[in-house]
Amino acid sequence: MIFEETYTLSNGIKIPKIGLGTWCIENSNVTQAVCEAVKIGYSHFDTAQAYENEEGVGKGIKECGVPREKLFVTTKLAAEAKTYKEAVDAIDDSLKKLGLDYIDMMLIHSPQPWANFRDEERYFDGNIEAWKALEEAYKAGKLRAIGISNFEKQDIDNLFEKCTVKPMVNQLLIHISNTPFELIEYSKSKKMLVEAYSPIAHGEIFKNHTVKEIAKKYSVSITQLCIQYTLQLGTLPLPKTSNPEHMRENTEIDFVISNEDMEVLKNTEKIQDYGEYSFFPVFGGKK
């Protein structure tokens, strides 16, 4: 199964090829979700300070019955932490909430605070400050890998000009109908693995007739088609669910999308409205 396969980061660390996203899973429910996922075979879990469920994820890591070293845990530095001190304190806070001696990977969640997402102000200096804190935690062994999320080319260039440790990952919104090809390739050219969050577009992709027909052609679910699409782009999907049946379905990927169908999917009309999720900055809204 796909969760038994890995990518290798630029520093040699291996990362499972699919992860369980935990966005929008309440802290009170996420412990059980992590434990159920481990039973199925997951070993890679993605959380963030902004999700307010790090405590529950950490509890699940402790209670799941699998040795810590066999699991990969990612969290994200709050987008608002744009000073060195704020970042240092936030890193230590994540370690405390997760209850872990180390975190496998930590990302800067966004180059800008969420209230200013995609504004002209890029917070270049603030990102350098936050990155310095991540570098120091990495060198101290608190973090095994460090990276970024939602960073565009100018934000990437800013870090690479000043960093002593290069980002190993860029986590981006990637799904059928929203594939930032140039940014994906640019990130890869910088030797960063690209992770795909919201690979199923929070269910909005289910409404697309062409996607339905292609999934039917391969006798797979739309969800499975979406996950395989991101894998064939060479990215790492992070589907979010607390439902064990869906967790299992998301890993049962044993088909290949033809080049012809990949081209159709790559050119699928962009989703304009993410429904109840539209207010989130990454989907075009503002908090």
Listed residue (158, 153, 171) closest to 130, CA to CA: 158
- Residue 177 structural domain: 2-283
Q: What is the pLDDT of residue 286?
A: 44
Catalytic residues: 51
Percentage of the chain beyond pLDDT 70 is 98
Residue 67: band (very low, low, confident or very high) from pLDDT cuts 50, 70, 90: very high
Angle at 105 between CA 34 and CA 92, to 5 degrees: 90
- Do the Cβ atoms of 167 and 143 come closer than 8 Å? no
Residue with tokens 């998301």, as numbered in its chain: 250
pLDDT at 204 over 60: yes
- Give the residue with greater pLDDT, 281 vs 263: 263
- Do the Cβ atoms of 88 and 65 come closer than 8 Å? no
What is the mean pLDDT of the segment spanning 64-71? 98
Residue 213 vs residues 191, 222, 254: alpha-carbon distances, Å: 35, 9, 18
What is the mean pLDDT of the segment spanning 129-147? 98
In this predicted model, what pLDDT tens digit does every residue of 90-136 receive, in sequence order?
999 999 999 999 999 999 999 999 999 989 999 999 999 999 999 99
Q: How many structural domains comprise the chain? A: 1
Percentage of the chain beyond pLDDT 90 is 91
- Do the Cβ atoms of 236 and 229 come closer than 8 Å? no
pLDDT at 287 over 70: no
What is the mean pLDDT of the segment spanning 265-284? 83
pLDDT at 285 over 60: no
**Global pTM?**
0.96
Q: What is the pLDDT of residue 261?
A: 98
CATH number, residue 245: 3.20.20.100
In this predicted model, what pLDDT tens digit does every residue of 233-262 receive, in sequence order?
999 999 999 999 999 999 999 999 999 999
Burial 98-137 (b: 16+ CB within 10 A, else e): bebeebbbbbbbbbbbbebbeeeebbbebbbbbbbbbbbb
Please give the Cα distance from 196 to 185 (Å, whole number): 13
What is the mean pLDDT of the segment spanning 256-270? 97
